[in-house]
């Protein structure tokens, strides 16, 4: 199963995704490629594959990406081989920008789409300022983009409001766990039970 989570800058979707990966079994993280600079807290190959713009463009030409987009001046994309990493039992968690999620939707109709909504606007501004990685003008730009992007929530199956991290983590986990309980997903587990009822007296 493919679970796509997205949301605007500062919605905290990456923090959420990491917490869910720690706390849930059988979920693999799809590691995106990006041309943006690594932040101090990030690990190459875990948070992102950090590549040069030349490398990224070559991946586009070679059709190695299932989706890509330019966000705040940097390339972001998902390699096709990342989505193939899910084991038979496991799920793949894709943490991508709003544009990328739209491209995934066209190709993976059965994926589950979760939109992470930031808290009220003043709170989001505070978060971006506190993160301290952007200049005031860059923050203004992010807030402008966020304002446009949050409208996209309408196209998503589930919405998680990230105003309180613990609650948001529980909610995102519940969306993933509940998908595993869908009848059509479960048929393989159900069959042996049905057979045991048919066989015995």
Measure the CA–CA gap between 60 and 166, rounded to whole angstroms: 37
Neighbours of 47 (CB within 10 A): 19
Measure the CA–CA gap between 156 and 102, rounded to whole angstroms: 10
Out of 33, 95, 115, 169, which residue is the one contacting a copy of itself (CB under 8 A)? 115
Stretch of 29-37, 79-87, 88-96, 184-192 lying at the interface with a copy of itself (CB under 8 A): 184-192
- 80 closest CA partner among 36, 33, 28: 33
Does residue 170 bind a copy of itself (CB under 8 A)?
Answer: yes
Does residue 118 bind a copy of itself (CB under 8 A)?
Answer: yes
Does residue 22 bind a copy of itself (CB under 8 A)?
Answer: no
Does residue 76 bind a copy of itself (CB under 8 A)?
Answer: no
Does residue 158 bind a copy of itself (CB under 8 A)?
Answer: yes
Q: Do residues 74 and 9 lie in contact, with contact meaning Cβ atoms separated by under 8 Å?
A: no
Neighbours of 57 (CB within 10 A): 14
Site for a copy of itself in 120-139 (CB under 8 A): 120-122
Q: Which residues, at least 6 apart from 153, have a Cβ–Cβ distance to it below 8 Å?
A: 115, 117, 159
Quote the least distance from Cβ 99 to a copy of itself, whole Å: 18
Q: Which is nearer to a copy of itself, 58 or 195 (CB)?
A: 195
Measure the CA–CA gap between 26 and 49, rounded to whole angstroms: 22
Quote the least distance from Cβ 26 to a copy of itself, whole Å: 13
Quote the least distance from Cβ 178 to a copy of itself, whole Å: 4
Does residue 62 bind a copy of itself (CB under 8 A)?
Answer: no
User: Is residue 65 left, alpha or beta, with left meaning phi > 0 and alpha meaning psi from -120 to 50?
Assistant: beta
Q: Applying CB under 8 A, which residues contact a copy of itself?
A: 114-115, 117-122, 146-147, 150-151, 153-154, 156-161, 170-171, 173-183, 186, 189-190, 192-194, 196-200
């Amino acid at each position: 199963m493919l679970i796509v989570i997205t949301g605007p800058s500062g919605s905290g979707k990456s923090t959420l995704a990491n917490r869910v990966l720690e706390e849930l079994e059988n979920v693999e993280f799809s590691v995106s490629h990006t041309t943006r600079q690594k932040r101090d807290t990030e690990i190459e190959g875990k948070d992102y594959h950090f590549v040069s713009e030349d490398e990224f463009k070559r991946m586009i030409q070679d059709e190695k990406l299932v989706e890509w987009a330019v966000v705040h001046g940097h390339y972001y994309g998902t390699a096709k081989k990342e989505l193939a990493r899910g084991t038979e039992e496991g799920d793949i968690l894709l943490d991508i920008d709003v544009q990328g999620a739209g491209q995934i939707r066209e190709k993976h109709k059965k994926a589950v789409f979760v939109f992470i909504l930031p808290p009220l606007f003043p709170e989001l501004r505070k978060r971006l300022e506190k993160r301290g990685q952007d200049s005031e003008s860059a923050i203004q730009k992010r807030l402008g983009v966020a304002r446009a992007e949050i409208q996209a929530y309408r196209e998503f199956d589930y919405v998680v409001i990230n105003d309180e991290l613990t609650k948001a983590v529980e909610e995102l986990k519940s969306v993933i766990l509940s998908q595993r309980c869908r009848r059509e997903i479960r048929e393989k587990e159900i069959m042996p039970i049905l057979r045991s009822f048919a066989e015995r007296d």
